[in-house]
Amino acid sequence: MSPDYETEYNNRARVPEHPEIIAGWASDAAAYRSEAVCELGVPYGESERQRYDLFKPETARSNAIAMFIHGGYWQALDRSFFSHMARGLNQLGVPVAVVGYDLCPQVELGHIVWEIQQAAASLWQRYRLPIVAAGHSAGGHLSACALATDWKNVDPELPEQLVPAAYGISGLYNLKPLTETSINGALKLTTEAAELESPLFWPAPARLTMDAVVGGAESEEYLKQSRRITDVWGLEGVRTRYEEIAGANHFTVIAGLAEPENAMTRRIAELAGA
């Protein structure tokens, strides 16, 4: 029997307390913005959402910048909900750019992939440091896309390994199942477009590093998404790692990034050379 994709992918229905969790993100993010050393609203493109907020550690100890990409199924939320995702990494000496992007249906999903590439390129041009892409949900998808990008195609002046590592949290790497769900109302993906924008079907970024973590309490499809990318890319020469965060659902899985001693935070710091 084929899976019920609507039930498997509708995280808001699966976690009825999600409004309280999202409200908590907003207040925690605002609190961190008020105390952190940060540059807010740095433009990397022309639209209002094509901006990043850069959160700086007191003493930088990394040889890369972490770029955090938020979720919301490419159609909801913005960077202002996620400022506190920089807190743990900042305390470990890693600068963090929390990136915004335009949403569907105002733009197509492929355009969002392009925007994230522009954001990473803009950060490299400014700091001349590699970027570790970390993202949640739709942001996990965009992180994997950044890892698998042919940067010479984006701009011949960019280094080939501009993004040497990605850390996908509850990411989506094969978008085809979404075409059978209500989530596709805003995305408007055809089966062909869904395949085209799925990093699972891109040439694997051999010799680079991809971690895919997922909440242990998430749907079977979400567990499968992360296992598939690590299995398939692992066979093609990517250094992959799969992990389940015990007891975490789709919304609580990112909570640890606010804390420096959390294993997820420490792993991203390690990928950034801190």
Distances (CA, A) of 228 to 172, 212, 234: 10, 9, 9
Residue carrying the six token digits 């994709």: 5
Strands 37-43 and 51-56: antiparallel
* Residue 253 predicted with pLDDT over 80: yes
* Residue 1 predicted with pLDDT over 70: no
In the prediction, which pLDDT does 149 show?
Answer: 98
- Are 70 and 77 in contact by the 8 Å Cβ rule? The answer is yes
CA geometry: angle 66, 214, 183, nearest 5 deg: 95
Identify which of 25, 67, 97 has the alpha carbon closest to the alpha carbon of residue 251.
Answer: 25
* Helix, coil or strand: residue 124: helix
Give dist(CA 88, CA 98) in Å, integer: 13
pLDDT in tens, 165-176: 999 999 999 999
Share of the chain above pLDDT 70, in %: 99
Rg (CA), the chain: 17
Hey, CA dihedral for 260, 263, 264, 267, is it positive or negative? Answer: positive
* Helix, coil or strand: residue 263: helix
Residue carrying the six token digits 């789709």: 250
Confidence category of residue 13, pLDDT binned at 50, 70, 90: confident
* Residue 11 predicted with pLDDT over 80: yes
What's the mean pLDDT in 39-55?
98
In the prediction, which pLDDT does 3 show?
Answer: 81
Helix (H) or strand (E) holding 51: strand 51-56
For domain 5-271, is the CATH number 2.40.50.140?
Answer: no
